[in-house]
Amino acid sequence: MENKETASSKKIITEKGRTLKDLLAGPDIIAARVDGRLVDLSTRLDEGKEVEPISVHSKEGLEILRHSTAHVMAEAVKALFPDARPTIGPATDDGFYYDFDRDKPFSYEDLAIIEKKMSEIIAADKPFSRKEISKEDAIRYFAEQNEPYKVEILNDIEDDTVSLYTQGDFTDLCRGPHIPSTGYIKAFKLLSVAGAYWRGDERNKMLQRIYGTAFASKDELDDYLDFLEESKKRDHRRLGRELELFMMSDEVGPGLIIYLPKGGMVRSILEDFEKRLHLKRGYNIVYGPGILRGELWKISGHMDNYRENMYFTEVDNQLYGIKPMNCLAHILIYRSKIRSYRDLPLRYFELGTVTRHEKSGVLHGLLRVRQFTQDDAHIFCMPDQLIDEIVSIINLVDEVMALFGFDYETEISTRPEKSIGTDEDWELATSALKQALETKGLDYDINEGDGAFYGPKIDIKLKDAIGRKWQCATIQCDFSLPQRFDLSYIGQDGRKHRPVMLHRVVLGTIERFMGVLIEHYAGAFPVWLAPVQVVVMSITDAQRGYAQGIVEKLKENDIRAELDARNEKIGYKVREARSMKVPYMAIVGQREMDEDTITLRDRSGRQEKMSIDGLISRINSSVPKI
């Protein structure tokens, strides 16, 4: 869901002593930016300040509204459940949450009670008031209120002065700004309850997190709630169970996926598609081991910069790292012989299974797992080949995403705090990514500090059938690992030169991409990707042999077909096949058997008479040409 940007760009030069609320009229104006800094409307101004009003319809305004609504929720919770100790309550991209320490979990029935209390607070139109006090006084205040989490936050703050916000009987530690009063909240809804570790650390206590959302108008809220309902219908975890695609088991462990036969078939189709795709585009298929000596991970920088995401084991009293990435084996393949400039670019492709230590709180079906398979490739090229190779990868992403029906957006993620390599190399790598996107005429945003530790990257965010964005494909430009592993090629001048390395995925991880596909298609895979493409149904036992013969002929032509010759009414069989999202149902009765035909019905209910060869041609023509 995207928000319409309607914040006024009008700038005002202020008069001394006036408040912003005096200066900025209008129910949609909820805060302001003064000389570039966001402040409350209760702020009194010095003369000559430059002011920009913030509308509730703007991105910043909506964030302020939602954060204020989180405070109102915390006030309601404290009034109803005095034993609940508040921790933090930020705004999010699509709403807000607040975490509470409470021994008894909140129930969904509690949400309705909390909503009612929030409505009373909103109706009372309580003002938000800001007070700045010393850090020591704030610690003393929250200690007296028996709020240890606020005290812990304060102890981590370096400033000597902090700000508190109060509305009604509730006071919170907060930088602000906030809406002028609770009455500015026009449309909100509490959505769910979940567990969350304090500060996201699974070694800390589990808290109770209440999620909610707020919008500037009821119509916008209603649209969002409709969107959530549609998202629930598409939830890949539910569809995965119903369509018998995959399962997860506590016996196996969190974040580990077991593919059922139908899900295994979809995965196999995707992997076969990818192998053919890459072979035709000059990639070499390679495979690396699942564990590598710890010394290699030290050289690469993973030990210093990525260790918390890795698992380790000992073999023959030596440390081994279970691979979280496929790049080291590909580097060793490159380094296994002398390379010439004539050999470059070299492109290695691997459907490599990797294992990463993800925190349990972020695991989510297929979308966030601990073991997954990447459609990983590493390209080693000369510096003057770099732009062309990046453009070639973008072209490949274009082609593949169009096949699945995705539009996408791009952003460049820059150097993180924990990283390796020189500033000069990072600047060269970032410049190459920008130049490639500009060559393609693609707009991009900058995502500061979110690159890989060895290089910046282009992140490609897919937009699905209902407008949600998913991170899948990525292109990473790396000058650092070739340096650390002393990679070289012999140039035209007969001397050694350093190659550049590109790390890239197109689908990303097979698990995540399958999860995205399930939600994008609402479980109704296109014909070429469906685990079962056609169910052949006999109307009576008299057609069983004819139907079986059709299934065998379809399978001989590489079509995934099943027989349904049960002694059930045909309407029941059709409904069951449709509930399993099967693209085609081939119905055969006495007339079809006499005419050597089928009655073909698709998922939408369209029906036509057809020859068996016609069905074979239709299904096989759906397979994408590579």
Question: What's the pLDDT tens digit per position in 392-409?
Answer: 999 999 999 999 999 999
174 labelled catalytic: no
Which residue, 65, 63, 185, 172, is CA-closest to 124? 185
Binning pLDDT at 50, 70 and 90, where does residue 45 land? Answer: confident
User: For a pLDDT cut of 70, what percent of the chain falls above it?
Assistant: 96
Buried b (16+ CB within 10 A) or exposed e, 583-609: bbbbbbbeebbeeebbbbbebeeeeee
Say how far apart CA 586 and CA 593 lie, in whole Å. 12
Residue 301 has φ and ψ, to the nearest 5°, of: 95, -5
**Among residues 356, 368, 512, 581, which one is catalytic?**
356
**Among residues 234, 330, 368, 378, which one is catalytic?**
378
In a 10 Å sphere around its CB, with 0-12 CB exposed, 13-18 middle and 19+ buried, how is residue 417 labelled? exposed
Residue 49 has pLDDT above 90, yes or no: no
Residue 25 has pLDDT above 80, yes or no: no
Contact predicate 521/366, CB 8 Å: no
Say how far apart CA 116 and CA 186 lie, in whole Å. 14
Residue 12 has pLDDT above 90, yes or no: no
> Mean pLDDT, the chain, as a whole number?
93
461 labelled catalytic: no
**Among residues 71, 209, 262, 503, which one is catalytic?**
503
Binning pLDDT at 50, 70 and 90, where does residue 26 land? Answer: confident
Residue 16's pLDDT is 61
pTM value? 0.86
The conformational region for residue 546 under phi > 0 = left, psi -120 to 50 = alpha, else beta, is alpha
Mean pLDDT of 103-127: 95
**Among residues 167, 208, 374, 543, which one is catalytic?**
374
Cis peptide before 105 (omega within 30 of 0): no
List beta partners, residue 134.
Answer: 161
**Among residues 327, 381, 472, 477, which one is catalytic?**
327
Binning pLDDT at 50, 70 and 90, where does residue 14 land? Answer: low
* Tens digit of each residue's pLDDT (9 = 90 or more) over 160-218: 999 999 999 999 999 999 999 999 999 999 999 998 889 888 788 999 999 999 999 99
Mean pLDDT of 516-525: 96
Q: Is the dihedral of CA 248, 250, 255, 257 positive or negative?
A: negative
Mean pLDDT of 532-546: 96
376 labelled catalytic: yes
Mean pLDDT of 84-88: 95
In a 10 Å sphere around its CB, with 0-12 CB exposed, 13-18 middle and 19+ buried, how is residue 82 labelled? exposed
Which residue, 124, 170, 114, 130, is CA-closest to 40? 130
Residue 426 has pLDDT above 80, yes or no: yes
Cα-only R_g, the chain: 29
Residue 245's pLDDT is 98
186 labelled catalytic: no
**Among residues 99, 110, 376, 459, which one is catalytic?**
376
**Among residues 85, 339, 457, 601, which one is catalytic?**
457
Say how far apart CA 375 and CA 351 lie, in whole Å. 5
* Token output for 524: 């109704």
Binning pLDDT at 50, 70 and 90, where does residue 3 land? Answer: very low
150 labelled catalytic: no
The residue type of 161 is: T
178 labelled catalytic: no
Say how far apart CA 210 and CA 194 lie, in whole Å. 7
The residue type of 531 is: P
Mean pLDDT of 594-609: 95
Which residue, 545, 508, 195, is CA-closest to 372? 508
- The DSSP-derived string for 315-383 is ETTEEEEEPS-SHHHHHHHHHTS--BGGG-SEEEEEEEEEE----GGG-BTTTB-SEEEEEEEEEEE-G
Cis peptide before 254 (omega within 30 of 0): no
Binning pLDDT at 50, 70 and 90, where does residue 1 land? Answer: very low
Residue 9 has pLDDT above 60, yes or no: no
Domains for the chain: give ranges and CATH numbers: 12-59 (no CATH), 61-233 (3.30.980.10), 246-520 (3.30.930.10), 534-621 (3.40.50.800)
Contact predicate 558/620, CB 8 Å: yes
Q: At what angle do helices 108-123 and 59-80 cross, to 10 degrees?
A: 110
440 labelled catalytic: no
